[in-house]
Amino acid sequence: MKIFTKKNYMFFIAAIFLLPNLFVMALGIESFPYTQAPMFGHYIDSETKLYLLKFEGHKDGQTIDLVDYYGKSELRFIRHFFSKVYGSSEYFTPFSGRVIEDEERFNERLNLFFESFEKFLWEEYQLRFDSIEVKIAQVDGERNLIGDFRPFGIYNCNTEEYKVIMD
């Protein structure tokens, strides 16, 4: 029996290109160029809670809003933080290439992100902080604040540890 036939070659190519797509669809993950195309997939109506995130640096009692120091657009910075670092509260998230998620991995990622961000702030802007705080505020569709920004998590630059604020 001949193995190297045109038909077998086509089956091989089909498998090579379809299997990764099947894999990302089944597990609900994405990593370029493979995607389960989740655009606009999550349901939104007037009851959906919408949030904004912001990062603040603290040093010697002074606070700096870091929005001008992200080094890229807010869209890219927050999406990177949400997709690649923080991750969804749901087990399967379409916004990352991670198959497994647990608290230890979550903390590792957060520490890694802030280590990199802290390094960037120093090298690019010569900014150093005691801590970097993430804050969250609920907004409506027109971005009007519904209440003030509240603490979401804090990274201690001295101990190099991120802590989730649960209140």
Partner 1 sequence: MKAILNQGLKFLSNPLFTLRIFLTLLISKNSLERLNFLVGVKNNEAYELSLTWINSVLPKEMLVSQSNFEFYHYLIIICTVTAVIGLFGRLSIFILALTGIMINGMVEGVGIFDHNLSLPSQVFFMLAFLPGTMSYSIDGLILNRIFKKRYFGGTDQKIIKMSTNLILLVLVFTYFTAGVSKLRYGGVEWLDGSTLSFYIQDKMLDYEEGKKQILLGRSIGEEDFEWKGPFGLYSHTYGNYRTSPAHRVFNTWLGTNEYLMSIISILTVLLELCGFIVFINPRLRNIYLISVIAMHSVIGFTMGLSFSYYRVICVLLIDWRSVFSDGASIYQGLKQRKVKLLYRTQNR
Restricting to residues 74-133, name those near partner 1 by CB under 8 A: 74-80, 82-91, 93-95, 97, 101, 103, 106, 109, 112-113, 116-117, 119-120, 124
Our finding on whether 68 is near partner 1 (CB under 8 A) is yes
Residues 139-158 that bind partner 1 (CB under 8 A): 139, 141-143, 152-153
- Check residue 90 and report its DSSP letter: S
Q: Which is nearer to partner 1, 32 or 126 (CB)?
A: 32
- What b/e sequence results for 2-22 when a residue is b if at least 16 CB atoms lie within 10 Å of its CB, and e otherwise? eeeeeeeeeeeeeeeeeeeee
Residue 96 CB neighbour total at 10 angstroms: 20
Pattern 2-41, binding to partner 1, x per CB under 8 A? ----x--xx--xx-xxx--x--xx--x-xxxxxxxxxxxx
CA dist 6 → 10, 14, 89, 111, 128 (Å): 6, 12, 47, 51, 62
C-beta of residue 128 within 8 angstroms of C-beta of residue 122: yes
Beta bridge partners of 21: none
Q: Which is nearer to partner 1, 60 or 166 (CB)?
A: 166
Q: How many residues bind partner 1 (CB under 8 A)?
A: 87
Minimum CB–partner distance for residue 61 and partner 1 (Å) = 23
Minimum CB–partner distance for residue 57 and partner 1 (Å) = 14
